[in-house]
Amino acid sequence: MQGDRTGTGDVAGSLESLPDRPSQVRPVDVALLGRLAGAELNPRTAGSGPGPLLDPAAGPHTVTGATLRAGSVRPGDLFAALPGARAHGADFAAQAIASGAGAILTDGAGADRPEIRHSRLPVLVHPNPREVLGPVSAAVYGEPTARLRVLGVTGTSGKTTVAHLLEAGLTAAGRATGLLGTVRTRVQVPGHPARALPSAFTTPEAPDLQALFAVMVEAGVTDVAMEVSSHALALGRVGGSRFTAGAFTNLSQDHLDFHPTMTDYFEAKARLFGGGGAGVEAARHGVVCVDDEWGRRLAARHRDAVTVSSDPRGAPATWTVRDLTAHPDGTQTFTAVGPGGLAVPVTLSLPGRYNVANALVALAVLDADGIDPEVAAAGFARASVPGRMQRVDAGQPWLGVVDYAHKPAAVAALLDALRRQVRPHARVITVLGCGGDRDTGKRPLMGAAAAIRSDVLVVTDDNPRSEEPGAIRRAMLDGAFGEPARGDVIEIGDRRSAIVYAVRSARPGDAVVVAGKGHEAGQEINGVKYPFDDTDELVAAIRAAT
């Protein structure tokens, strides 16, 4: 699914990996799964005559795993054959059956395929199998989130940072933690080295997610911090998961290649707080940042939610901030003010006002999870997030930053934050591109947002994918030149050359930010992913210039 890919395992790439499934799974009766899902077990279908038969003498039919990829089926698995935009999962049923599938979950069209109709396997038929796949997968793996405290974070921007801050606060409190997100998926249990978890999406598909939860239970994890994407909420990937707390950061234009409107995008995010269907259960505690209109709308809908605001002139909130100081080295200090006048001093190594909001969200979530806010704040002081307002220091006399900002609002927030961070006469130099095969409408908006806020804007390539790179740059330049630019706007297609130009242009006290790719370790051009890491490239350019 576009817009939801991530790397596998930990960004460091050197951690021992945990398995993708638990070592012990108790067999689950397929008939029980059918009752749970409201699915029919081996009904007669359109062209099946008397319908598929099960041997009544065989006793209960059971499964010991679940997957929706035929190539990943293991003996005894429930194979979910889901309808798709380009193909039906039932098209791959023969492969799944040959690999030892023990049962199939599908819709009426899938059940009527000859490979399934004549298989004599237990077949669960539901009009919307994706909607029930989450609860079914949770049942297969023994309802693992019933034994975990799961803290979910949704929103356009800030999910990754909040999840890392949650992990840092939990670790400071001595909790055994799991982290599921865009940059890292890992487990940290006191007394043991950190271990990586396999994951291919910001939020894995339902069977994979429930299997990972079960793996975490086996590893001794008690608390999980996880990013919850809009794709996952709309497609039911988190169905069957029990959230101790759910947090909303903000909403701005993104993923409109998947969601038809901003309202649809918002409603997908709101499912974490209840009432949205797709098998998603409401989080027990809600935390909502009310710094934007979408957050205020969500808070008005859920009056019992804890609210946070980093804007002294903004809406009233449960958690607010005072005495905020941004330091030239990129750190920030402030006091978080919570319920009953509770005052918690916080130090962040992450620049930007929006990271103050992220820290408040994390603090409120951890408070709901029973963590002492002062202990959590001590953990925040040591937290860093690869590619998220990541400071890069190679001995240069100016502030270097790598950030994942790849949406108009995120670009604006990033550059506004850096403007406040540097001294009054210092310059902000920005290197920025847009990804190909994604929402085309945001390209001129990103160009405009960067041009208005940069003293030097270098428009370059991001991941062009299958598109012509020059066309993407032209769309960005149309936006950049359509507004009164603050300074110079330059086009340098080659990303390495663009970074070198920015570094050579920097003066003491300036800020140079390389934006758009963040933690990514490759650049995708015409179906080929070439090694490319913005942090490494920025360091190399700094060293070459000194």
Q: Please tell me whether 158 is known to bind a ligand.
A: yes
393 is in an annotated binding site: no
Alpha-carbon separation of residue 388 from 48, 136, 351, 352, 514 (angstroms): 55, 35, 10, 11, 11
464 labeled part of a ligand binding site: yes
Q: Are 134 and 144 a contacting pair, CB within 8 Å?
A: no
C-alpha 288/C-alpha 396 separation (Å) is 39
What tokens appear for 416 in the block?
A: 């506004």
Q: Is 83 among the annotated ligand-binding positions? A: no
Q: Is 516 one of the annotated binding-site residues?
A: yes
Residues 6+ apart with CB under 8 A from 395: 542, 546
Pairing of strands 243-248, 428-432: unpaired
Distance in angstroms (rounded) separating the CA atoms of residues 290 and 310 = 9
**Is residue 261 annotated as involved in ligand binding?**
no
520 is in an annotated binding site: yes
Answer yes or no: is 340 a known binding residue: no
DSSP labels, 421-456: HS-TT--EEEEE---SSS-TTHHHHHHHHHHHH-SE
Q: Which residues of 141-162 are buried (b: 16+ CB within 10 A; e: fewer)?
A: bbbbbeebbbbbbbbbbbbbbb
What does DSSP say about strands 390-392 and 488-491: parallel, antiparallel, or unpaired? Answer: unpaired
DSSP 319: B
What are the phi and psi torsion angles at 364 (to 5°)?
-65, -40
Q: Which one-letter amino acid corresponds to residue 422?
A: V
Nearest to 377 by CA among 335, 440, 316, 415: 335
Nearest to 159 by CA among 321, 372, 4: 4
Q: Is 436 annotated as a binding residue?
A: no
Do the annotations mark residue 460 as ligand-binding? no
User: Do residues 373 and 358 touch, judged by C-beta distance below 8 A?
Assistant: no
On whether 203 is known to bind a ligand per the annotation, the reply is yes
Strand pairing of 320-326 and 332-337? antiparallel
Is 199 annotated as ligand-binding? no
Residue 374 labelled as part of a binding site: no
Q: Is 244 helix (H, G, I), strand (E, B) or coil?
A: strand
Q: Binding site: which residues?
A: 68, 155-161, 202-203, 229, 237, 438, 462-465, 516, 520
Q: Binding site for meso-2,6-diaminopimelate: which residues?
A: 438, 462-465, 516, 520
Q: Binding site for ATP: which residues?
A: 155-161
